[in-house]
Amino acid sequence: MAVQQAAGPDPYFPDNGDPRYRVHRYELTLDYRPGPNRLAGMARINAIAGRAALPEFQLNLADFKIGRIRVDGRQPHWTHRGGRLRIKPAKPLRAGAAFTVEIHWSGNPKPVNSPWGGIGWEELTDGALVASQPTGAPSWFPCNDRPADKASYLLSITCPSAYSVVAGGRLLTRTTKASTTTWVYEQASPTSSYLVSLAIGKFQTVLLGDPGFGGVPMHGHIPAHLLPEFSRDFARQPAMMDLFQRLFGPYPFDEYAVVVADEEFDVPVEAQGLSLFGVNHVDGARGSERLVAHELAHQWFGNSVSIADWRHIWLNEGLAKYAEWLWSERSGGRSAQQLAATAHRLLSGLPQDIRIAAPGRKSMFDDRLYERGGVAIHAIRCALGDERFFHMLRAWAGLHRGGSVTTATFTAHVNRFADEPLDGLFDAWVHRAALPALPAPVVPARPAQPPTSAESA
Cβ-proximal residues to 445 (8 Å cutoff; 6+ apart), any chain: 386, 387, 390
Question: What is the pLDDT at residue 428?
Answer: 98
Q: Return phi, psi of residue 122, to 5°.
A: -130, 120
pLDDT at 442 over 70: no
Question: What is the pLDDT at residue 209?
Answer: 79
User: Catalytic residue among 229, 295, 324, 371, which?
Assistant: 295
d(CA 349, CA 372): 13
First to last CA, the chain: 26
Q: Which of 300, 294, 253 is nearest to 276 (CA)?
A: 294
Question: What percent of the chain lies above the pLDDT cut of 90?
Answer: 90
pLDDT tens digits, one per residue of 369-390: 999 999 999 999 999 999 999 9
Rounded to an integer, the average pLDDT of 161-188 is: 96
Q: Please, which pLDDT band fits residue 7 given cuts at 50, 70 and 90? A: low
Question: What is the pLDDT at residue 4?
Answer: 44
d(CA 349, CA 420): 32
Q: In what order do the strands lie in the sheet with 269-271?
A: 204-207, 218-222, 256-260, 274-277, 269-271
Question: What is the pLDDT at residue 451?
Answer: 38
Query: Does the annotation count 251 as an active-site position?
Result: no
Provide the annotated binding site for Zn(2+): 294, 298, 317
- Write out the DSSP string of 107-137: E---PBP-TTS-BEEEEETTEEEEE-TTT-G
Q: Say if 1-191 and 306-456 have the same CATH topology.
A: no
Mean pLDDT lowest among 41-45, 206-210, 239-243: 206-210
d(CA 140, CA 155): 12
Mean pLDDT lowest among 2-6, 99-103, 106-110, 169-173: 2-6
pLDDT at 301 over 90: yes
- Write out the DSSP string of 248-289: H-S-SSS-EEEEE-SS--SS-EEETTEEEE-GGG--SS-TTH
pLDDT at 25 over 80: yes
Q: Please, which pLDDT band fits residue 284 given cuts at 50, 70 and 90? A: very high
pLDDT at 5 over 80: no
Residue 49 contacts residue 20 (beta carbons within 8 Å) = yes
Residue 95 contacts residue 48 (beta carbons within 8 Å) = no
- What mean pLDDT is reported for the chain? 93
CATH number of 1-191: 2.60.40.1730
d(CA 167, CA 183): 9
Residue 369 contacts residue 359 (beta carbons within 8 Å) = yes
Distance of CA 85 to the CA centre of its chain: 24
Residue boundaries of the structural domains of the chain: 1-191, 306-456
Question: What is the pLDDT at residue 213?
Answer: 53
Rounded to an integer, the average pLDDT of 52-68 is: 97
Mean pLDDT lowest among 18-32, 206-220, 433-447: 433-447
pLDDT tens digits, one per residue of 310-319: 999 999 999 9
Alpha helices in 173-255 (DSSP H): 227-233, 237-248
What are the Cα distances from residue 43, in Å, to 68, 143, 157, 170? Answer: 10, 9, 12, 19
pLDDT at 436 over 70: yes
Please count the other Cβ atoms lying within 10 Å of the Cβ belonging to residue 194: 28
pLDDT tens digits, one per residue of 151-167: 999 999 999 999 999 99
Query: Does the annotation count 295 as an active-site position?
Result: yes
pLDDT tens digits, one per residue of 80-106: 999 999 999 999 999 999 999 999 999
Question: What is the pLDDT at residue 282?
Answer: 95
Q: Please, which pLDDT band fits residue 441 given cuts at 50, 70 and 90? A: confident
The string over 59-79, giving b where at least 16 C-beta atoms fall within 10 Å of a residue's C-beta and e elsewhere, is bbbbebebeebbbeeeebebe
Rounded to an integer, the average pLDDT of 165-176 is: 96
Cβ-proximal residues to 156 (8 Å cutoff; 6+ apart), any chain: 27, 28, 29, 30, 182, 183, 184
CATH number of 306-456: 1.10.390.10
d(CA 17, CA 147): 9
Provide the annotated binding site: 294, 298, 317
